[in-house]
A and B are shown apart, each in its own frame.
Chain A
Amino acid sequence: MSTVRTEQQQQEPLDLIRFQLDEFVLVKLRGAREMKGRLQGYDSHCNMVLSEAQEFIYSEGDEEPTVKKTEMVFVRGDSVILISPIAE
């Protein structure tokens, strides 16, 4: 891995995800999908396990997304576009 060094403390992007463990996150995925859930685990590929999760599927034409609830789910990292903490 090539490294980009900052002058201040060594903050790397994946630290943001680490700080979200046990917190609710929004994950935007390929295929017009989003997943909200409590982050239970992740790795550097952005593979993740979310609990108390809800999946939102957006389809063209429909204003409202299809919502699917799931208690515990593994999300494969290669589908991930972005991850953001959910402000509560």
Chain B
Amino acid sequence: MSEAEIESSKTNPSTFLSDIIGSSVTVKLHNGVEYSGNLQSIDGYMNIVLDEGKEVVGNTISRTYGDVFIRGNNVLYISEA
């Protein structure tokens, strides 16, 4: 990575998003539910696909999904786990 690229990944949210593709992430929704899994893809609407997705309500895993598509409007944040 060149210095300019490092700089841009610090300042540009969408390069952050493309940089964390393939990593393990946590996605929190407006309804309080969290999903953790490997980030397969993400688009500009914050639509997200996780593989090995785990649904976490409170502190317990309530469900697991092989693949899961999350509609972007429900997303509060996405963080690199």
Instruction: Give A residues with C-beta under 8 Å from B.
Output: 1-7, 11-17, 46, 77-78, 80-85, 87
Contact = CB atoms under 8 A, between A and B. Distances in A.
Contacts of B40: 11, 13, 16
Nearest to A80: B71
Contacts of B66: 84-85, 87
A4 B4 CA distance: 18
Contacts of A83: 68-69, 71
Interface residues of B, number: 26
A82 to B, nearest CB: 5
B79 interface: no
Contacts of B69: 13-14, 16-17, 82-84
